[in-house]
Amino acid sequence: MIEIKHKRMFEKLEQYNQIKNDLPEVSINSYRQAFELDYTHNSTAIEGNTLTLLETKVVLEEGLSIGGKQLRELYEVINHNKAYQYVKRCITDGHLLNEKIIKDIHAILMETIMTGGIYRHVDVYISGAEHTPPSPSDMYAQIKAFYMDLVEKVFDNPIECAAWTHAEFVKIHPFVDGNGRTSRLIMNYQLMANGLLPISIKKESRLEYFNTIEAYAVKGDLSFFENMIAVLEEEQLDKYLSMSRSKF
């Protein structure tokens, strides 16, 4: 039965599941490659990385350095792509999202930048945000509860699950740096593990994105972020459905 929430999106998901095995392999591989490039570019750009989409492509696909850019920016895009490949492998192997995987994701993101996969022991603040992440002592209790909820919490649908996983994790902000990139990766982990397509939040949409995250952090209202994810998921499904129509 299709969920009442996001009904149109789930109807398109049913259509996609019916035709996905018949889609042209060349088109699928080409689009997935383009998506992964776009995803890495946008997820790092949201956090301030200044590489353009074309520069990101040159770094990832040709292994070239970019003059005038900080080494950290180059490592950010390289590491993000590595972390996404790790996410895909974990899902293919049938692993449910857990603490080890999240720490591994963060460690990959932080390679050559800082030691990753270690929870912070200092206070952190998010500039421009009303929400202040918990102090280390409270953070440890909250992150422990987060991992318990990953196993025990019941969601209405996989969109809500992905939205909550991202929003709750970034609200806790367990790492000194890299929480945003990690949260977007585990959001996509939950989507893909539940049979949906990964999404990319455009850097141009970051104000709306930050506002939806803030609505959850301050008011506990997940609906705005959940709706944002559902819209992006529907756009992804439309891409794949159009590939089917183009065959005829």
Helix, strand, coil shares of the chain as percentages rounded to 5?
70, 0, 30
- Angle at the Cα of 145 (from 144 to 151), degrees rounded to 5? 100
Active-site residue, selected from the candidate residues 6, 80, 166, 173: 173
**How far, CA to CA in Å, does 202 sit from each of 46, 69, 97, 163, 211?**
8, 21, 24, 16, 14
Largest CA distance in the chain: 60
**How far, CA to CA in Å, does 161 sit from each of 153, 169, 193?**
9, 12, 11
Crossing angle between the packed helical segments 223-245 and 206-219, to the nearest 10 degrees: 140
Let me know if 173 is a catalytic residue.
yes
Quickly count: other Cβ atoms within 10 Å of residue 146's Cβ: 19
Active site residues: 173
